[in-house]
Amino acid sequence: MDQALYRNPRAYDILYQHKDYEAEVEFVLDRFREHGNDGGSALAVGCGTGNHSRLLQRSGFDVLGIDPNAAMLDRAREKSSATFRVGALPDIELDRTFDLVWVPYTVVDYLELDTLPSALATLTELVAADGHGRPDRVRRVSWLPLTRIVSAVLA
Ligand SMILES: C[S@@+](CC[C@H](N)C(=O)[O-])C[C@H]1O[C@@H](n2cnc3c(N)ncnc32)[C@H](O)[C@@H]1O
């Protein structure tokens, strides 16, 4: 899929200015808390211009956002003091885990079908051992049974 828009993050933000990021974060945090979780660390995969990251940080999370497009991260840094780093599925190399791993389907859609198994394995490794999550929707494939389920949310 073409990613030209992500070289122009200001245009991206104008295009998505009516997207209800607050409702999305609230929805995810409600599910998160339903499972007895509360705060902690969050990884925003494909964080883009950092709208979810900013709101997660405001909700008390220690947030790391990753995205392959550096221009998106520059824009994200203007919005919050969360940490942002270049990175991409399927091979995110981080030597730590997170209480919440946020993976919008709009990010999963950028993956080639044959990279999905390794992407899911990577994401599973990034979820804290006692973390919970739920897949809302993954297009094109049936969800694989995972011992620790990654939170794939609509965004
Ligand atoms: C539609 S945007 C969503 C951005 C943000 N989550 C939001 O809702 O505003 C998709 C994002 O996925 C990122 N992306 C593309 N391929 C990716 C990959 N392989 N791994 C992680 N992120 C990727 C793009 O750079 C872009 O910022």
- Is 1 within 8 Å of 110 (Cβ atoms)? yes
For the chain, the average pLDDT equals 83
Q: What is the pLDDT of residue 138?
A: 39
Does residue 104's CB lie within 6 angstroms of at least one atom of ligand 1? yes
Tell me how far CA of residue 94 lies from CA of 10, 22, 72, 86, 122, in angstroms: 28, 27, 20, 12, 10
Among 75, 103, 110, 123, which residue has the most ligand 1 atoms within 8 Å of its CB, making it the best to mutate?
Answer: 110
DSSP string, 28-97: HHHHHHHTT--SEEEEEET-TTSHHHHHHHHTTEEEEEEES-HHHHHHHHTT-S-EEEE--TT----SS-
93, pLDDT greater than 70: yes
Among 28, 67, 120, which residue has the most ligand 1 atoms within 8 Å of its CB, making it the best to mutate?
Answer: 67
Does residue 69's CB lie within 6 angstroms of at least one atom of ligand 1? yes
152, pLDDT greater than 80: no
Looking at the chain, the whole-number percentage of residues with pLDDT higher than 70 is 83
Nearest to 21 by CA among 62, 43, 49, 51: 51
Q: What is the pLDDT of residue 66?
A: 97
Average pLDDT over residues 31-40: 80
Q: How do residues 40-92 score in pLDDT, each as one tens digit?
A: 899 999 999 999 999 999 999 999 999 999 999 999 999 999 999 999 999 99
- Domains parsed from the chain with CATH numbers: 5-134 (3.40.50.150)
